[in-house]
Amino acid sequence: MGVSDDKIVILDRVDSTNTYAMNLVRHGGAAHGKAIFAVEQTAGKGRNERKWFTEPGANVQVSIITRMDGFSLNDRFMLSVAAALAVSEVIESCGCKPLVKWPNDVLIGARKAVGILIENSVRGAGWEWAVTGIGLNVNQKKFDSERATSLGLETSREWDVMELTNDIRISLLNHLDRWEKEGPDGLLEAYNTRLFMKGQSVRLKKGNRVFESTIMGVNRMGKLITVDALEHEWDLDEVTIQY
């Protein structure tokens, strides 16, 4: 293990950066803006207990700890918004045009380049800490899924993984500052501007039923708003977008 500065801890190998970071939170080792970066994860986490495996050393695998006691737990989806925007803006700085697939995957074209997983530390009704895990495919060229891509594939060049990691960390902290000072509306508008398939009819799957509806946007509670004969608001994991 090494430390690149007082804010980024570099681990050669770890089971999960999120697990490591949450242990720091539980045992008093957390600091706002501290990031845990891994060259290799052996049990990286994705949403809904999915595993996240990537080529060692080729990609951003980082968990960023943030103090959240200035925010309402009712607005916790907005941290996903801030994280998706932070990564999207870094990708844009590399010359690509990312889109956010609800709730917080980031795509380049229609292929996934980023996964985000947030874990929270709550005391009573208060939001104390959050750990935002971000996986960005950077220099990896081969994937098991045809629906995955990387910055390297999209730009035909290699990128400095640690530089991108710090850029993401700083961007996330800046978005949190903006949220605290200005409220969530500006972040949510920027998120919806980048929303994948917005204004288009898509197939949604709910249980065993597949149907068509038009995506209109996402609200601050994280609900997907769609319109067909009626307007609907869908909770996270209530429906999935088929594409």
Average per-residue pLDDT for the chain: 94
Whether 47 shows a pLDDT value over 80: the answer reads no
Q: Read off the pLDDT of residues 95-122 as tens digits, 9 standing for 90 and up.
A: 999 999 999 999 999 999 999 999 999 9
φ, ψ at 34 (rounded to 5°): -70, 135
Please state, as a whole number, how many other Cβ atoms lie within 10 Å of the Cβ of residue 26.
11
Whether 23 shows a pLDDT value over 90: the answer reads yes
Taking the model in full, what pTM does it have? 0.93
| Overall average pLDDT of the 196-223 stretch | 97
| Overall average pLDDT of the 145-150 stretch | 94
Whether 155 shows a pLDDT value over 60: the answer reads yes
Q: Map out the domains of the chain as residue ranges.
A: 2-193, 201-242
Burial track 177-216 (b if 16+ CB lie within 10 A, e otherwise): ebbeeeebeebbebbbebbbbbeeebebeeeeeeeebebb
Share of the chain above pLDDT 70, in %: 94
pLDDT-based confidence at 49, cuts 50/70/90?
Answer: low
Q: Which class in CATH covers the domain with range 2-193? A: alpha beta
Residue 36, exposed/middle/buried by CB under 10 A (0-12, 13-18, 19+)?
A: buried
Cβ–Cβ under 8 Å, residues 111 and 149: yes
pLDDT-based confidence at 54, cuts 50/70/90?
Answer: confident
